[in-house]
């Protein structure tokens, strides 16, 4: 292959990674800059920590992830990322031992991961440390460039307008169709408020009965001892639509 062909082939060009300049202290950038085939550009990003092509990547250590669950930042941040328009992925960095100082039980972490991946439909990539995070970003960039070169495009892109996106997320809840999603949004004025609403508050929305409200709270709540039998009961009786 000639030089002109190589320069025009996006699958073999260096991967260009935009990094938020507030990430300068993270060793991820240092590792990226030492890699072949990577171009790192540091600049202030309004949202997200890294961007490759049209994908935003939010990097969180396990400790910060736990803290963001405690203080309520996690889902507010997920809403902002989704509202920005481009597709989003989380990189969750660290080892299980890192969570010891957070004093957070496993169940709330699992509940948050379920909500992000199933309801918000945000991919979650796992990394043991900054070096692996850098490699994940490089591999993601290489695959995105290869797909671009082969004219492969992602199906089912998320709606870009904020309201349409909020309705899209709410319709991922069990028993919630377009009409009920509209009512939820009108009542709670935001996805985050729906996610933390009590069963009684959910039932106050027209068309959402006890069964749907109970099933939504069951899905979003952290696991508790003795919940297995309750799970089987709920799964055996799908919510009314």
Q: What is the pLDDT, as a whole number, of residue 125?
A: 94
Q: 166 is written with which tokens?
A: 């909020």
Helices within 62-190 (DSSP H only): 62-70, 73-83, 106-114, 130-149, 162-170, 178-188
Name residue 24's beta-bridge partners.
Answer: none
Query: What distances in angstroms separate CA 146 from CA 39, 64, 140, 143, 150, one per listed residue?
Result: 17, 33, 10, 5, 6
Q: What is the pLDDT, as a whole number, of residue 195?
A: 84
Q: Angle 73-83/62-70 helices, nearest 10 degrees?
A: 100
Q: What is the pLDDT, as a whole number, of residue 25?
A: 66
C-alpha atoms less than 13 angstroms from C-alpha of 239 in its C-beta half-sphere: 19
Reduced to 3 states, what is the DSSP secondary structure of residue 52? strand
Q: What is the pLDDT, as a whole number, of residue 234?
A: 46
Whether CATH 3.40.50.1100 fits 12-149: no
Point out the residues of the chain with pLDDT beneath 70: 1-12, 24-25, 148-161, 222-241
CATH number, domain 162-236:
1.10.150.20
Residue pair 183/207 in contact (Cβ under 8 Å)? The answer is: yes
Nearest to 188 by CA among 198, 175, 174, 173: 198
Sorted by sequence, the CB contacts under 8 Å of residue 236 that are 6+ apart come out as none
Residue pair 205/180 in contact (Cβ under 8 Å)? The answer is: yes
Provide CATH 3.40.50.10130 ranges for the chain. 12-149
Q: What is the pLDDT, as a whole number, of residue 150?
A: 54
Q: What is the pLDDT, as a whole number, of residue 5?
A: 42
Residue pair 107/222 in contact (Cβ under 8 Å)? The answer is: yes
Q: 104 is written with which tokens?
A: 């957070």
Q: What is the pLDDT, as a whole number, of residue 162?
A: 73
Q: Are strands 38-43 and 15-20 parallel, antiparallel or unpaired?
A: parallel
Total count of residues recorded for the chain:
241
Alpha-carbon span 47 to 69, nearest angstrom:
19
Sorted by sequence, the CB contacts under 8 Å of residue 216 that are 6+ apart come out as 173, 174, 175, 176, 199, 202
Provide CATH 1.10.150.20 ranges for the chain. 162-236
Q: What is the pLDDT, as a whole number, of residue 232?
A: 47
Q: What is the pLDDT, as a whole number, of residue 152?
A: 42
Q: What is the pLDDT, as a whole number, of residue 3?
A: 43
């Amino acid at each position: 292959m000639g030089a002109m062909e190589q320069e025009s082939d996006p699958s073999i060009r260096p991967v260009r990674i935009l990094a938020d300049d507030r990430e300068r202290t993270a060793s991820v950038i240092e590792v990226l800059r030492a890699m072949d085939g990577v171009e790192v550009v540091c600049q202030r990003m309004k949202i997200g920590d890294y961007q490759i092509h049209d994908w935003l990547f939010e990097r969180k250590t396990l400790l910060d992830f736990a803290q963001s669950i405690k203080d309520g930042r996690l889902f507010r941040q997920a809403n902002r990322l989704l509202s920005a328009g481009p597709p989003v992925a989380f990189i969750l960095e660290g080892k299980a031992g890192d969570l010891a100082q957070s004093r957070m039980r496993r169940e709330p972490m699992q509940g948050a991961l379920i909500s992000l991946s199933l309801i918000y439909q945000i991919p979650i990539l796992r990394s043991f440390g900054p070096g692996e995070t850098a490699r994940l970003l490089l591999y993601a960039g290489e695959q995105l460039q290869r797909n671009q070169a082969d004219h492969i495009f992602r199906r089912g892109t998320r709606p870009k307008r904020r309201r349409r996106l909020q309705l899209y997320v709410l319709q991922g809840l069990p028993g919630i169709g377009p009409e009920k999603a509209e009512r939820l949004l009108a009542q709670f004025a935001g996805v985050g408020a729906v996610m933390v609403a009590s069963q009684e508050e959910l039932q106050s929305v027209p068309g959402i009965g006890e069964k749907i409200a109970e099933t939504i709270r069951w899905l979003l709540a952290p696991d508790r001892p003795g919940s297995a039998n309750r799970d089987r009961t709920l799964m055996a009786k799908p919510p009314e639509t």
